[in-house]
Amino acid sequence: MPRADADPVAATLTLDPAFTVGPVDSRLFGSFVEHLGRCVYTGIFEPGHPSADERGFRSDVLDLVRELGATVVRYPGGNFVSGYRWEDGTGRAADRPRRLDLAWHAIESNAFGTGEFVDWCREAGAEPMLALNLGTRGMQEAVDLLEYCNHPGGTRLSDLRREHGAAEPYDVRLWCLGNEMDGPWQVGHRSAAEYGALAARTARAMRLVDPRVELVACGSSHSGMPTFGSWEATVLEQCYDTVDLVSLHSYYDPTGKSVPEFLAGALDLDRSIDAVVATADHVGARLRSRKRLQVSVDEWNVWYVSRWDPAAVAEWREAGPLLEDTYDDVDATMVASLLVTLLRHADRVGVACLAQLVNVIAPIRTEPGGRAWRQTTFAPFAQIAAAARGSVLRAEPRVATYESEVGDVPLVDATATYDEESGELALMLVNRSVDRPARVRVDVRAFGDALAGSAPDGLLEIDLDPVSWRVVRPATDPRPGS
């Protein structure tokens, strides 16, 4: 219980528009839709729902997705993709086969597939990011799907897309070369050497179909994997030249942890990103390459993994509820802190996807036939995505730390973005203290008169409650001519 009279944690921060980490890439605010539980069926897609359009897209969910501000959406998995035949999800709905989904022990109706997903992304205002099956399938099927999606016409597969109603190419740029291929649970799991060779071959062939694609090699499923680091090194030795990004997945489970220990998880994400960057750069140096890879943190979130009940998948079921975690305010603070961490790495993280989007460990929940609502984790994502513009500023809060299993953790976590064009500054702050509020003093003298209205003496003072997050957008004076 926080003490009402507790002394605030004192933090100071100096910001200067001249000292930046890198540009804010809107792709940092991505999300993820997998054929898992009710993410697709009765999540984003529910023909017959009162809010559904003629394609079965729930407009109540679409409204929330737009409000969330998801910029990129990864699809169709996740573990699901490693047994997926993309052709099943194309063509007339009545002709689509029902299949066993081996990853989640479910029945897949294939009523929703690639074409529906790309259309749905357009409605949501998000860029599609497609994952390829490199588990049970390989290079040929990857190339086929790319031809189906991106080739304008005049070939068997591009004409098939046109027959399916899409005259224009889908023009999908971002592609994941498989999913979590380092994990023994993955259907078609491979050794690093096998996967690296397959990723390289597939990437080369894909670039022959469409040289504009941006390709993501599978990194580690989490930093606790015994192969973390060595997997990336071996894989990238083979495909460094042919890919653009390497993935990292990071989930944080609050179960059995004190709140400070749980919130310390953001430090793990911070170090994991640094480790992947260092490994990729090491390979780049050995190859005498000038190219620098980006990291795609294409699955991250709070996930109560320990609540997984194997009984939920004992029977072969179609779109039954799975992993429908309910989040609280501490989880929302963790999500804010993980976003702060991602922004602080804006120079090397090129894509990030909150996993997942609807119902499955998600910021949005739905009832079949009923309402859709926001979870606590919705607000930090939506507010930070809306505020982060321009460049990420270097921000090193001076504040006391506490000890945790992952090391010394600053009680206050912070980052800031500044948009030179509009003159807008935004601060994203987290107080990790469980029993003390925080007072953050931010020196903004380097902004001159622009912030005179909010900080007449060049100092902003921001208060946070214990275990909380805030996005602060100090009013800037209008810029001449704007």
Q: Which residue lies nearer to ligand AHR by CB, 114 or 250?
A: 250
Question: What part of residues 152-181 is at the interface with ligand AHR (CB under 6 A)?
Answer: 179-180
Stretch that binds ligand AHR, among 75-83, 112-120, 262-270, 396-404 (CB under 6 A): 75-83
By C-beta, is 17 or 76 nearer to ligand AHR? 76
Taking CB under 6 A as the rule, does residue 77 contact ligand AHR? yes
Binding mask 353-382 vs ligand AHR (x if CB under 6 A, - otherwise)? --xx--------------------------
Specify the residue, 78 or 437, whose C-beta has the smaller distance to ligand AHR. 78
Does 78 engage in binding with ligand AHR (CB under 6 A)? yes
- 404 belongs to the binding site for ligand AHR (CB under 6 A): no
CB 405 to ligand AHR: min, Å: 22
Q: Which residue has the tokens 């997926």?
A: 84
Query: 355 or 387, CB closer to ligand AHR?
Result: 355
Q: For residue 188, state whether it binds ligand AHR (rule: CB under 6 A).
A: no
**Binding residue count for ligand AHR, defined by CB under 6 A:** 11
Strand partners, 459: 443
Q: Which of 299, 318, 421, 424 is catalytic?
A: 299
Nearest to 327 by CA among 368, 367, 359, 298: 359
Instruction: Tell me the DSSP string of 170-204.
Output: ----EEEESS-TT-TTSTT---HHHHHHHHHHHHH
Nearer to ligand AHR, 70 or 387 (CB): 70
Q: Is 116 a catalytic residue?
A: no
The span of 57-65, 73-81, 83-91, 471-479 binding ligand AHR (CB under 6 A) equals 73-81
Is residue 129 near ligand AHR by the rule CB under 6 A?
no
Alpha-carbon distance 338 to 345, whole Å? 11
Task: Decide whether 90 or 301 has the Cβ nearer to ligand AHR.
Answer: 301
Closest contact distance (angstroms) between CB of 329 and ligand AHR is 23
Closest by Cα among 341, 157, 324, 329 to 250? 341
The H or E element spanning position 30 is strand 30-32
DSSP per residue over 136-171, as a string? S--HHHHHHHHHHHH--SSSHHHHHHHHTT--S---
Contacts 24+ apart (CB under 8 A), 86-95: 86/113, 86/114, 86/133, 86/141, 86/144, 86/145, 86/148, 88/113, 89/113, 89/114, 89/115, 89/116, 90/114, 90/115, 90/148, 90/160, 90/161, 90/164, 91/164
Interface with ligand AHR in residues 288-327 (CB under 6 A): 299
- Residue 31 as a binder of ligand AHR (CB under 6 A): the answer is no
Which residue among the candidates 108, 127, 180, 424 is catalytic per the annotation?
Answer: 180
In the complex, minimum distance from the CB of residue 245 to ligand AHR, in angstroms, rounded to a whole number:
16
Residue 189 beta carbon to ligand AHR: minimum distance, rounded to whole angstroms: 12
- Decide whether 148 or 252 has the Cβ nearer to ligand AHR: 252
Q: Do residues 216 and 296 make contact, with C-beta atoms less than 8 angstroms apart?
A: yes
| Residue number, 36 or 263, with CB nearest to ligand AHR | 36
Q: CA dist 173 to 21, 125, 150, 213, Å?
A: 25, 15, 9, 5
- In sequence order, the β-bridge partners of residue 250 are 300
299 is known as an active-site residue: yes
Name the minimum Å distance from CB 356 to ligand AHR.
6
| 42 scored as a contact of ligand AHR (CB under 6 A) | no
Q: For residue 79, state whether it binds ligand AHR (rule: CB under 6 A).
A: yes
HSE of 360, CA atoms in CB hemisphere, 13 A: 27
Q: Token pair of 440, please?
A: 């953050």
How many Cα atoms within 13 Å fall on the side-chain side of residue 43? 30
Residue closer to ligand AHR by CB (options 36, 157) is 36
SS3 content of the chain, % helix, strand, coil (to 5): 30, 25, 45
∠ Cα 163 44 188 (to 5°): 75
State whether residue 328 is helix, strand or coil.
coil
- Dihedral of CA 237/240/243/248: which sign? positive
Q: Work out how close the CB of 35 gets to ligand AHR at its nearest, in angstroms, rounded to a whole number.
A: 9
247 near ligand AHR, judged by CB under 6 A = no
Please tell me whether residue 199 binds ligand AHR under the rule CB under 6 A.
no
Q: Cα separation of 30 and 35, whole Å?
A: 17
Residue closest to ligand AHR (Cβ)? 78
The Cα 443–Cα 258 span in angstroms is 33
Residue 415 contacts ligand AHR per CB under 6 A: no
If binding is defined by CB under 6 A, does position 30 make contact with ligand AHR? no
Sign for the pseudo-dihedral over CA of 312, 317, 319, 320: negative
- Find the shortest distance in angstroms from Cβ 420 to ligand AHR: 37
Give residue for tokens 């702050």. Answer: 429
Of the candidate spans 22-30, 74-82, 286-294, 451-459, the one that interacts with ligand AHR by CB under 6 A turns out to be: 74-82
Active site members = 180, 299
Binding stretches for ligand AHR (CB under 6 A): 34, 36, 77-79, 179-180, 221, 299, 355-356
